[in-house]
A and B are shown apart, each in its own frame.
Chain A
Amino acid sequence: MAKEKTIADRAALATPEPLARRIRGLSDRSIAWLFISPTIILLLAINIFPLIWMIKLSFTNYAANRPNRVIKDIGLRNYERILNDPDIWFAMQVTAHFVIWTIVLQTIIGFSLAYLINRKFRGHAFWTTLILLPMMLSPAVVGNFWRFLYQPQIGLFNYIVSFFTGIPPSSFDMIGSVALAPWAIIIVDTWMWTPYVMLICLAGLRSIPDYIYEAAEVDRASPWRQFWTITLPMALPFIMLAVLFRGIENFKMFDMVNLLTGGGPGSTTELASITLKREAFEKWRTGYASAFAIILFVTVFGLANIYVKALNRVKQR
């Protein structure tokens, strides 16, 4: 900073008077604020101001579809009711089931794929790009089409399953059955987001320098041992990063599941975000929904905190 100023000052001395005035006219500090403040102001207006408003609403019985009703301050009662609401706890269980299974499947498949791609076979760049496609697509639009693939009689998914297992294709309904619907959304999410985990794991594997393996080879370490003592530990920060990010994203999952099952049948796939939408935009219990939103937000914020720490750890390498 100090060094820059001297350069700027020297430049100012060496240049004609009008130009020098311009250099001094806008100091670095004012440019910094000029550049940064629009972003901060926008985020304050679109994110923070509404958030504060929502915190206020969470202590009331406000209903957005009845704007003329007298708003009563009910203190912490919304929070109390949420923590005692069996529907909310059920939604949290459904969310936990979804998050855990998608992470387990995506990490195993994603890491295996990355490991295989790292063998650098011919054409691996092309196939990698192809594999990455699903994660770039709109989860809503693609999730909507999966409803068609899951149709009991005519759907391609059911047909392929019956082709390989012999189970009649009309005997199971992936999105209509209480037992299968939670797996229907896990399958679609895994299909979409395994490439994401794969890509980050691949970066992790590629960050391991060759000489470590060469040294292990000299020490006659078996491939198995190399995997457990070199490959996995060194790729672990990257795997953790992917896991954490998928965790946050799936904890707030809304679009794909809302279109695929809409939370049904019953409430077997009603994730936290879908419950929140029902409370806020169908039952119009705005105050209650605001309190729930705050609870979800605090949870995500905590996870995000860990996430940023993990990011910095990966960055240092």
Chain B
Amino acid sequence: MSGSTISHSVVDPTPLARRVAGTLVVIYAVVSMIPLLWIFVTGMKSPPDSISYPPKIVFQPTAEGYCNLFTTRTRQTSEYVKSLGEPEGMCDEITRARNMVIAGKSNYWPRFVNSLIIAFGSTFCAVTLGTLAAYGFSRFKVPLADDLLFFILSTRMMPPIAVAIPIYLMYRELGLSDTRLGMILLYTAVNVSLAVWLLKGFIDEIPREYEEAAMIDGYTRLQAFWKVVLPQAATGIAATAIFCLIFAWNEYAFAVLLTSGTAQTAPPFIPTIIGEGGMDWPAVGAGTTLFLIPIFVFTVLLRKHLLRGITFGAVRK
């Protein structure tokens, strides 16, 4: 931070300042990654390894966590297990080594599929509605536009539990409790506010002259929207969609209060994974890892638009 020698541009930090800053940031990054690494590592441990003291960093990796995640098992006598004959596949072998047999499939996969359907369904709806509304707000003089935009944003600020009370009653009346359709509708409503605000920012950045030129060439307003604006806004729409996906994928409060079975998503299910005598931490680690991987990918894809997404489009860098 020495600025007295003007051998370099005054606003450029000195090499030493850079190196110190870099070291501190890397230390923070590494420390903050430890919990995430531990989730991944725990998923590959055997149950005894996962609860050993001191915590094991070197261990024999096993697929037991993943096997337990996808199956339900029953304990049997060792004579019975021996009498069964050849095990079918790796998971069968691992399970039998613990004197257990696979009784069936667990609910993890159906819950994961629910998460996928609800996240993609609600994202599609929210982005479609959001794109239309954002175009409307961006290009036309809408009466009370600022009030409507504030109203749209404020719906996202509501505490989820407060929203869940009347939604619970309403869905019970309408027969939407514990249905995927109900969850898709709800997540669409929550996400559409984000979609409108983000997409309005993106569409505002597309010059009006493009559409006007297209309309002089004989396009109708709708054709100009479809053939000129949408392709121009593609990146923004994709970024918005990923933000909506992440929200719907991560959501827990509505899911735990409004779903219990057929439409339950993964977040309320993962904490209920238990083994014999308490939490089955390797299975939880495995389930959490699989659940987080899509988000890792999305975060890397989104990194240029992150700032915009988390501030409702206010800060654009």
Q: What residues make up the interface of A, taking CB atoms closer than 8 Å to B? A: 1, 4, 7-8, 10-11, 14-15, 19, 22-23, 26, 28-29, 31-36, 38-40, 42-43, 45-51, 53-54, 57, 64, 109, 113, 116-117, 119-124, 127, 129-142, 144-149, 151, 153-156, 159-160, 169, 191, 194-196, 199-200, 203, 206, 210, 213-214, 217, 223, 226, 238, 241, 245, 248, 251-252, 254-255, 258-259, 272-273, 276-277, 280-281, 286, 289-290, 293-294, 296-297, 300-301, 303-305, 307-308, 311, 314-315
9 contacts between A and B (CB under 8 A): A8-B215, A11-B218, A46-B189, A47-B158, A121-B25, A141-B250, A191-B35, A196-B310, A308-B153
Q: Are B35 and A142 in contact (CB under 8 A)?
A: yes
Quote the shortest CB–CB distance from A205 to chain B (angstroms): 12
How many A-B contacts are there with CB distance less than 8 Å? 331
**Roughly how many angstroms separate A19 CA and B29 CA in the complex, as a whole number?**
59
In the bound assembly, the distance between CA atoms of A251 and B148 in angstroms comes to 25
In Å, the complex CA distance between A293 and B38 comes to 37
B76 interfacial by beta-carbon distance below 8 Å: no
Knowing A46-B186, A273-B161, say if A139 contacts B11 (CB, 8 Å): no
With A26-B222, A124-B22 in contact, do A145 and B167 touch (Cβ < 8 Å)?
no
**Across the interface, which residues of A come within 8 angstroms of B296, CB to CB?**
133
CA distance A129 to B249 in the complex (A): 20
B29 to A127, Cβ gap below 8 A?
yes
Chain A binding site: helix, strand, loop or mixed by DSSP? helix
- Say yes or no: A127 contacts B132, CB within 8 Å: no
CB pair A124 B155 closer than 8 Å: no
Taking a contact as CB atoms closer than 8 A, the residue among B130, B154, B252, B257 that contacts A304 in the complex is B154
Which chain A residue shows the least CB distance to B195? Answer: A39
- Nearest first, the 7 closest Cβ-Cβ pairs linking A and B are A50-B166, A121-B22, A140-B252, A293-B162, A138-B250, A46-B189, A35-B136
* Distance between Cα atoms of A32 and B300 in the complex (Å): 35
Cα of A153 to Cα of B50 in the assembled complex, Å: 12
A124-B25 in contact given A50-B170, A139-B252 (Cβ < 8 Å): yes
Beyond A31-B221, A50-B163, A210-B11, is A43–B155 a contact (Cβ under 8 Å)? yes
Which among A113, A130, A210 is the interface contact of B33 at CB below 8 angstroms? A130
Bound-complex Cα distance A35 to B81 (A): 64
